[in-house]
Structure 1
Amino acid sequence: VRCSPLRFHKYCSYTLCSVSNLVCFAVLGRGLKDLMTINLARYRPTGEQVAIRRIDLESCTNEMVNYLQAELHVSKLFHHSSILPYRSIFIAENELWVISPFMAYGSARDLISSHFTDGMNELAIAYILLGMLKALDYIHHMGYVHRSVKASHVLISVDGQVCMSGLRSIISLIRHGQRARVVHDFPQYSIKVLPWLSPEVLQQNLQGYDFRSDIYSLGITACELANGHVPFKDMPATQMLLEKLNGTVPCLLDTTTIPPEELTMKPSRSGADSGICEGPSTGGAHHSNGEPSSSGSHPYSRTFSPHFHAFVELCLQRDPEKRPSASALIGHSFFKQIKRRPSEALPELFRPITPITGFESTQPQDAASVLASLESGLSHMDVDDWDF
């Protein structure tokens, strides 16, 4: 089915309207069944680093086109510092070009995969979750449910700005001009996001779901950031559904949730990989705020604060009615540990990871070496799942 580019003209904006003003560097990845190419580029007039999604419209099915149109419609409605903006949208021949800022630290998932394989420091997680909550509070007040909350949809800029992306699965609660109490639609292309989805979304019954399903997904993301992996990740979909419907609750893996005898085992034998709590424990030398007690110890021989545990438990309540709203969670005691601006704190907390920067002033003769350096630096980023 051929798609006419004219279908997208109403979404076009011309802040960065000329292809000639963009210098493309590395291909970061591909997506949308290989119909989308993601490029790292520089905007010539300012030297700003940008990411470009180039989508071959003529090869898109009608279903894909409708999916993209819904995303672009929402992107034009939203204006918030914690939601990734689209700087420009325009048509170049048969391609739709979507320009967004390049987020130099990549996604929170990238940070876990490349360095924090057993989970991040609690303070870094607090900054990330607070940024996510600010975005979700805005999205929910606008009458939408995100439905794709996870670490790979949290992008972090060079100055520590936390931005949510992944708007492609978003759904409106507004029906015929009025705000509906719940929706029943199951998100398209949701296979990759199943471990994060709430029980009420997965069970697809007449009760439906609302914005509180995003709060459950936030709790799963908190476990993902803290433990280094996603709870339920290795389970078949049917088992995952049964576990969630039966009230199995993931938890933060530390000295309070893993039995002492397991903390003396090698990590591969500990049984902690599921992210499902086995039971409380006591004793043992450990540090607070999620720092392991020593480099040679079990990676989960650490202790997260009671405030963090309480926060996650609130988010993962089986009954959606018992989960707080995003605005209520912003005031949770867990965030009292935040004393500085993200721009001051996050670069320190992310060390030794450095952001991908430094090609603004590239001269033509240096292009090959700079491109090789960029591709090396970008190798840890799973950009196919960024959903800019």
Structure 2
Amino acid sequence: MSLLDCFCTSRTQVESLRPEKQSETSIHQHLVDAPAFSHLPPSTRAKDVICSTNVSHYELQVEIGRGFDNLTTVHLARHTPTGTLVTIKITNLENCTDERLKALQKAVILSHFFRHPNITTYWTVFTVGSWLWVISPFMAYGSASQLLKTYFPEGMNETLIRNILFGAVRGLSYLHQNGCIHRSIKASHILISGDGLVTLSGLSHLHSLVKHGQRHRAVYDFPQFSTSVQPWLSPELLRQDLHGYNVKSDIYSVGITACELASGQVPFQDMHRTQMLLQKLKGPPYSPLDVSIFPPSESRMKNSRSGVDSGIGESVLVSSGTHTGNSDRLQTPSSKTFSPAFFSLVQLCLQQDPEKRPSASSLLSHVFFKQPYFEFL
């Protein structure tokens, strides 16, 4: 089967999010009051599978994001025969290098073979001239980074962080069990559907540990990552030495993402790149929580600057283009309390030695994910 063949899987019907009708209370309750949604499969109320490769069957509504280093535009669209809202990623293949083309091909093929509720699904893939169209379910709440920017500029509370991270780590555990390293775990690659389902996107960055039927302990593939992605990358991946890296590299990124969700800021964003690299490569285990969120002797979070989307990944939220005022944001308290379990999770993930980090499957059993959901509201 070629890259341009139609890949169809079961689809999920989700209701569109109308930002003008969503009060601050309603969005918070929807995301927080349904902890099980982070690990439930898609709704069974789906209609027929959308496999149409006829471009006239799709009505583009609005551009809602960009990804793949701005080579891809993300659109909210309507499948006119059924009236279903979908997300369409459109990429001009003529602007892609050979490395980018291989990454796109890999993402399409892997999406076809992966079957997990917490991994983003591609319904249909086809070309229109030199343009690649990828049709996927519409994720009404967009990415976690867009939630931060639009509703939680000072960071999310622990309950919401727990829901989002649990779904993301569950999807990551599935990838690791299948011998794959994601290599781009961050808030903009965590998507949330209208019914609260959390999925991982960004499969174009993925790399397999399996070669010629054998699973290797480490890989030595070091793609040319954008410098803006470096805050999430592990020390061993940045080091690019003979030791290589493995799935534990993703666990480090989970820790950085946890800090991102808690603070509303991209960790290390105010640090010079050279200083950040030295801190990661030579310094002791370092948590952005120690500096960017909490004073060393306190457990309360000070006021921080409003979060900004890093601009990386597939951030898709309809409201991002129409609602950016403070009145539309769900303000969090100026000081928040985070549990010792949350600190423990972050510290474990950010261990300098990858062997000291937990696996994704064992991370799901961490006490942070076992706490009562409303204990720290």
State TM-score, norm by structure 1: 0.72
Q: Which residue of 2 aligns with 1:309?
A: 343
In the TM superposition, what is the alpha-carbon distance from 1:267 to its structure 2 partner?
5.3
Note the 1:1-388 alignment, pairs <5 A: 8-10=3-5, 15-32=51-68, 35-245=71-281, 246-252=283-289, 257-258=294-295, 299=334, 301-337=335-371
The higher-RCO structure (CA 8 Å, 6+ apart) is 2
In structure 1, distance between residues paired with 2:292 and 2:103 = 44
Q: Any idea what SS the aligned residue of 1:312 has? A: helix
1:309-343 CA-partner distances (Å, limit 9, x unpaired): 11111111111111111110111111123569xxx
In the TM superposition, what is the alpha-carbon distance from 1:197 to its structure 2 partner?
0.6
Query: 1:251–1:312: 8 Å Cα contact kept in structure 2?
Result: no
In structure 1, distance between residues paired with 2:216 and 2:332 = 51
Amino acid at match of 1:194: Q
* Worse overlay, 134-143 or 73-82: 73-82
Equivalent residues, number: 309
The change in CA–CA distance for 1:44 and 1:235 in structure 2 (over 3 A counts) is same
In the TM superposition, what is the alpha-carbon distance from 1:56 to its structure 2 partner?
2.2
* Worse overlay, 127-136 or 84-93: 84-93
Query: 2:301–2:336: 8 Å Cα contact kept in structure 1?
Result: no
In the TM superposition, what is the alpha-carbon distance from 1:100 to its structure 2 partner?
0.8
In structure 1, distance between residues paired with 2:68 and 2:166 = 30
In structure 2, distance between residues paired with 1:189 and 1:7 = 27
Query: 2:294–2:301: 8 Å Cα contact kept in structure 1?
Result: no
Structure 1 unaligned regions, length at least 5? 1-5, 269-294, 341-348, 350-388
Structure 1 vs Structure 2 CA RMSD: 3.0
1:106-141 CA-partner distances (Å, limit 9, x unpaired): 111111112211210100000001001110000001
In structure 1, distance between residues paired with 2:136 and 2:273 = 34
Query: 1:41–1:52: 8 Å Cα contact kept in structure 2?
Result: yes
The change in CA–CA distance for 1:19 and 1:227 in structure 2 (over 3 A counts) is same
The change in CA–CA distance for 1:7 and 1:336 in structure 2 (over 3 A counts) is closer
Query: 1:16–1:87: 8 Å Cα contact kept in structure 2?
Result: no
Amino acid at match of 2:142: G
In the TM superposition, what is the alpha-carbon distance from 1:47 to its structure 2 partner?
2.2
Q: Any idea what SS the aligned residue of 1:181 has? A: coil
Amino acid at match of 1:8: L
Query: 1:25–1:40: 8 Å Cα contact kept in structure 2?
Result: yes
